[in-house]
Structure 1
Amino acid sequence: MRELLAQLETRHSWQSLWVDGHEWRWLDTQTSGPVTLLLPGSVGDGAMFVRTLLSLGARMRLIAVTYPALSDPAQLADGLAAVAEHLALPPHRVVGSSFSAYWSQFYALKHPARVTALVVGNGFVDGTDLAANPMFDRQFVEGVSPEELHAQWLDRVRSAPEAPLQQLQEIMLAERQSPANLHARFLGVVRSQACPSLPLPATAITVLDCDDDPLIPANVRERLRQQYPDAHHLSLPTGGHYPHVLNPSRYEVFLEASN
């Protein structure tokens, strides 16, 4: 996995913008055609989409975004809008994963003219959906220090069997994602409240989930689908919580076909 990251970052350079004292960073394949923004979940930076960027980057303009240590979805939405304005992006598709699948809805809510399509991937409606999971217990997340939370997650990843996702997460946590950033994202999850109705047509929204997602239970997946009953619903049989890593071929087929 380290070799793939090196290949990616040789091919595409990181760019950055400071917005209200917070640094946003991104990798841009700069291909002609429609634009797709890729937003990672709680763990990792924009290069979590390394397989997607390397596979599709020569055929599609993909911009993989690393967002700063913020938990408020409205603030994240406005920050992303500032990046889009800085890059003079035309209206574009936004693909969220996990926590960013949640807050990207607020980007569509606050800046609908910028959004042609929204993919809510491996997401949830609000913090109650994950409260039964000790990792997302609100009292724990709000009480633990960023350093302790980060150390616990790094230990958890290092104790898992070696695999591409495990390797990628370890690199992210050990070398690239600060304790403050990880903690802010977890705070965003546990404090999340349902997004109001979006000013987008249902045909512009896709709810993507995986049958074997270990973090998003079946009832939570169904609750999110019911929030967008007329949207396109795509359920992959495999892909876990990270289909762009664990089921990249199917994930990439979907992105390219719906571009």
Structure 2
Amino acid sequence: MTGSVIDQLAELEERYSWRTLQTDGHEWRWLDTAGEGPATILLPGSVGDGAMFVSTLLSLGKQVRLIAITYPAISDPERLAHGLARVMDHIALASATIVGSSFAAYWAQFFALHYPARVRALVIGNGFTDGSDLAANPLFDRAYVEGIASSTLHQEWLERVRNAPASALQQLQEIMLDKRQSPENLHARFLGVVASVPCPALPIPASAITILDCDDDPLIPAAARERLRRAYPQAKHVSLKHGGHYPHFLNTKEYEALLLSSMS
């Protein structure tokens, strides 16, 4: 794929239009590539909207049906799970492969818990078991996240991204925080991370679950990655040598191959 991140986002939104659903006072938004075959739902982590998957959507969207979802400012994983079910009802989607990244990899497990018949496969990408996995990182200190104003948290993250070394990922994150993600939405996701508790055992076959992590993930420590794998000992475990916390953007070739295999 060529062109700047700005060009890629423009191309994405020229190809596909955002759709919306209001449910329980919250707006859900998504891009549906309407490709062939069973659907795959893509859920971003704490930073950004569904277009965080811009590389995947542009690369595979005509080949397979991808639905990239922007979920609202809700921190409770069960409320998010029920909201996703409403979206699937709205678009008459009986089941899908559910792919979560980071915080969404956490709450996607609760979707599988409550709606097992609607999960063809589950990909838990760059995830964690509960908030204790990240508590040593000052950015995910529970007292800090719960005590800070949404606007302050958002501004701190925007400045942190702006001061990071220039890269395509840095540019994408800055666009997301500056133009597309509200302070309330970002804060809700962080609140969901720090308050997270382990998901109960899932009523879906282990063969339908993939645990994806990256050796160079700067946010999820090695011990947390291993703890999540131990929670799903019979699942498929995929560890990429590189991809950081965003393999869908930083290691597109291997990430897309994994997605295609999970759909089969």
- Work out whether the TM-score is over 0.5: yes
Query: In 1, are the aligned partners of 2:36 and 2:62 still within 8 Å (CA)?
Result: no
Per the alignment, residue 259 of structure 2 pairs with: 255
Matched with 1:163 is 167
The 5 A counterparts of 1:97-176 are: 97-176=101-180
Q: Which amino acid aligns with 1:55?
A: S
Distance in 2, Cα, partners of 1:52 & 1:147: 31
Alignment check: 8 A CA contact 2:161 2:173 kept: yes
What is the alpha-carbon distance in structure 2 between the residues aligned to residue 108 and residue 255 of structure 1?
18
Structure 2 counterparts to residues 1-259 of structure 1, below 5 A:
1-259=5-263
Alpha-carbon separation, structure 2, partners of 1:90 and 1:254 = 23
Q: Deviations over 1:69-88 (max 9, x none)?
A: 00000000000000000000
Cα RMSD (Å): 0.5
Q: Secondary structure, in 3 states, of the residue corresponding to 2:14?
A: helix
- Report if aligned partners of 1:127, 1:189 keep a CA contact under 8 Å in 2: yes
Partner Cα separation in structure 1 for residue 21 and residue 115 of structure 2: 19
- Aligned residue pairs, count: 259
Under a length normalisation based on structure 2, what TM-score does the superposition of the two structures give?
A: 0.97
Q: TM-score, normalised by structure 1?
A: 0.99
Give % identity. 67
> 1:256 & 1:55 partners in 2: Cα distance?
12
SS in 1 for 2:245: coil
Task: Please tell me the residue identity of whatever aligns with 1:251.
Answer: Y
Structure-2 separation of matches of 1:103 and 1:218: 21
Give the conservation status (yes or no) of the 8 Å contact 2:81–2:110: yes
Offset of residue 198 of structure 1 = 0.2
Task: Give every structure 1 segment of 4 or more consecutive aligned residues whose post-TM-superposition deviation is greater than 3 Å.
Answer: none
Residue pair 1:40, 1:97 contacting (<8 A) in 2 also? yes
Question: Partners in 2 of 1:84 and 1:158 — Cα distance?
Answer: 36
Q: Please say if residues 35 and 90 of structure 1, whose CA atoms lie closer than 8 Å, have aligned partners that are also in contact.
A: no
Query: Where do 5+ consecutive residues of structure 2 fail to align?
Result: none
Instruction: Return the letter of the residue paired with 1:202.
Output: A
What's the offset of the Cα at 1:32?
2.1
Alpha-carbon shift at residue 257 of structure 1 (Å): 2.5
Give the partner amino acid of 2:28: W
